Amino acid sequence: MILHMIDRSAVERLTYEYGGDWEVNHARRLVQTIAAIGKGLAYDQEVVWIAAHLHDWGSCPKWAKEGVNHSVKSKTLAERYLQKAGYPPDRTALVLEAIEFHHGGSEGRSTEAILLSDADALDALGVIGVLREFAMLPCEYRGGYSFPTVLGLRDAYERAQMRKDNSFRMLRLEASRKLARARIKEMDRLFAQLQKETAGCF
Ligand SMILES: [Fe+2]
Ligand SMILES: [Fe+2]
């Protein structure tokens, strides 16, 4: 029997080309998180690996378009890529479903799709979730340094606080909720310390 395998280094290279370290490491974290929350579940590991790498291609500078949902764009790009790579149609369908619904939105999703959306929501929680939120502040270069422009630390802080509820609500697996509770505890500790150090001036 020939097992069809995707060229993982080619996928990683393309993910890096489109989204740099940000995207590649986001994908790697999702793969790790899925291994943790998927323990004891039956799922196709290669399908989730591929979906983790391709799911945000549509949000990368080369492909992102105002008014176009990045999940839909990523799905189109993935379909094209996997077809060209001769990936089996049944497994391609699983990858595409996981990509299309990686921010939720469909009942009765496959285990692979649930694992991807749970892992993606978990990436917005904990220390990594906070750092991501602060890294996403729009910045400009002045005198050799990068400074936040219109929005400041308060804005990133408030968005990170909102994620605690919004991302938690997205989770479908009990193992994900357990991990999320631990991550939220870390966020609360970090924010309490921030408040203490700054007396709210941030
Ligand atoms: Fe996304
Ligand atoms: Fe993502």
pLDDT category at 3 given cuts 50, 70, 90 is: low
Residue 74 alpha carbon to ligand 2 centre in Å: 11
User: What's the pLDDT tens digit per position in 67-124?
Assistant: 999 999 999 999 999 999 999 999 999 999 999 999 988 888 999 999 999 999 999 9
User: What's the pLDDT tens digit per position in 129-163?
Assistant: 999 999 999 999 888 998 888 888 999 999 999 99
Q: What percent of the chain has pLDDT over 70?
A: 98
Helices 111-122, 45-54: inter-axial angle, 10-degree rounding? 50
Residue 135 alpha carbon to ligand 1 centre in Å: 16
Q: What is the mean pLDDT of residues 59-73?
A: 96
Please name which ligand lies nearest the alpha carbon of 100: 1
Write the DSSP assignment of the chain as a string of letters. -PPP---HHHHHHHHHHHHHHHHHHHHHHHHHHHHHHTTT----HHHHHHHHHHTTGGGSTTT--TTS-HHHHHHHHHHHHHHHTT--HHHHHHHHHHHHTBTB--TT--HHHHHHHHHHHHTTSHHHHHHHHHHTS-EEEETTEEEE-SS-HHHHHHHHHHHHHHHHHH--SHHHHHHHHHHHHHHHHHHHHHHHHHTT--
Tell me which of 44-48, 141-145, 177-181 is least confident: 141-145
Query: Is the per-residue pLDDT at 2 higher than 60?
Result: no
Query: Is the per-residue pLDDT at 198 higher than 50?
Result: yes
- As given in the structure block, the two tokens for residue 87 are 């990936």
pLDDT category at 4 given cuts 50, 70, 90 is: low
Residue 193 alpha carbon to ligand 2 centre in Å: 28
Residue 55 alpha carbon to ligand 2 centre in Å: 6
d(CA 152, CA 185): 24
pTM of the model: 0.94
Q: What are phi and psi of 176, to 5 degrees?
A: -70, -40
Residue 5 is predicted with a pLDDT of 87
Residue 120 alpha carbon to ligand 1 centre in Å: 7
Residue 1 is predicted with a pLDDT of 45
Residues with CB under 5 A from ligand 1 (ion): 56
